[in-house]
Every structure is written in structure tokens, then in C-alpha cells.
Amino acid sequence: MSDDHARGQRDGLRLALALLAAEEEKWAALLGESRSGRTNQVRAVRHKTLQVAQRRVQTALNRLTPRQGETIDAELAAALDTIGL
């Protein structure tokens, strides 16, 4: 796999993480706000689903990130700081 292709994959995963974080934040704000128990339950499930998706994308990103010893890649650290992970 070429470096440009791998970098593109990592960028795509970072974008996915940012989108999932924004969506998760939206649903976190709505948790427990409704008078309907069923609506609150659906919101809680969506929130948890987004959290699980974030973990899976993070795992995929970690697998694609080249190993450079014990330190974290500066590019990856900046992206993670941007989305708050």
C-alpha cells in the first residue's frame, strides 16, 4: 500500500471520528430530556451505538498508524486532540 493511500485512509478515519464525536455530543445533550421513557431509551441506545462506533473507528485508525517506537505520532495526536479523545 502506498504512503499516499495509507495517509488518505487515516484521514478518512479521522474525519469519521470527528463526525461520530459531533453526533455523539448531540445525542448526549438529549439524553433524559423527553417526558417519554421510550424516547429516552431510543436516545440512550443511539448514544451508546455512537460510542461503540467511535471505539471501532479508533481501533481501525490505530491499526493503520505506522509504529514509531513508544511515542505517538504528532499527526495522530493533533487529530485526537481536535476531536477530544
Cell, residue 51: 460510542
47 compared with 68, residue with greater pLDDT: 47
For the chain, counts of helices (H) and of strands (E): 3, 0
Residue listed under C-alpha cell 445533550: 29
As a whole number of angstroms, the distance between CA 38 and CA 75 comes to 42
As a whole number of angstroms, the distance between CA 7 and CA 66 comes to 10
Name the band, by pLDDT with cuts 50, 70 and 90, for residue 78: confident
Check residue 54 and give its pLDDT. 92
Check residue 51 and give its pLDDT. 92
pLDDT above 70 for 58: yes
Name the band, by pLDDT with cuts 50, 70 and 90, for residue 53: very high
pLDDT above 70 for 71: no
